[in-house]
Amino acid sequence: MFKDNEKQASGYRVPLNKALDSLRYNEAGLVPAIARQHDSGEVLMMAWMNRAAIEETLSSGQVCYYSRSRAGLWRKGESSGQIQKLVSLRIDCDGDTLLLDVDQTGPACHTGRRDCFYWRVDGTDVELDKATLISPDQLYGKK
């Protein structure tokens, strides 16, 4: 579907079901999903979705990933309260990556930082360059 229609003009439409059938899920049935704060352009995190997670996200308007470690749907914020409200969901040219524009409440990262990308290469080191907004203990109700 994606390759076949890449020369279509802006405005071309395909049924959602057909697009979701045509996604190039990996051998575990997952596609990577990048979450970006819709207004600031901050890239918050990258996680994985299966078809059920995509469908739940679209129907509920709240982002649901697939947790590879827990092998099940992961309703972002279910334990921390830090939910992601879906603004838009996009699919890339190859149909193998999703881009979610979201409105993130508080920190996206389990460490209590706003986003997960807090190690920056600096010469021959990497530097941790972002502070926590909330401690993980507070985030997960151990306060």
Contact 96, 24 (CB under 8 A): yes
| Nearer of residues 19 and 134 to a second copy, judged by Cβ | 19
| Angle in degrees, CA 104, 46, 31, rounded to 5 | 120
CB of 120 to a second copy, least distance (A): 5
Residues in the interface with a second copy (CB under 8 A) total 55
Q: Which two tokens stand for residue 85?
A: 């409200």
For 56, 73, 131, the CA distances from 114, given in Å and listed in that order, are 24, 22, 8
Stretch that binds a second copy, among 15-23, 59-67, 75-83 (CB under 8 A): 15-23
| Nearer of residues 64 and 91 to a second copy, judged by Cβ | 91
46, 35, 101, 47: which is closest to 73 by C-alpha? 47
**By the rule CB under 8 A, 125 interacts with a second copy:** yes
| Residue given tokens 């985030």 in the structure block | 139
List residues binding a second copy (CB under 8 A). Answer: 2, 5-17, 19, 32, 34, 36, 40-43, 45-46, 58, 88-94, 97, 99, 109-111, 113, 116-131, 136
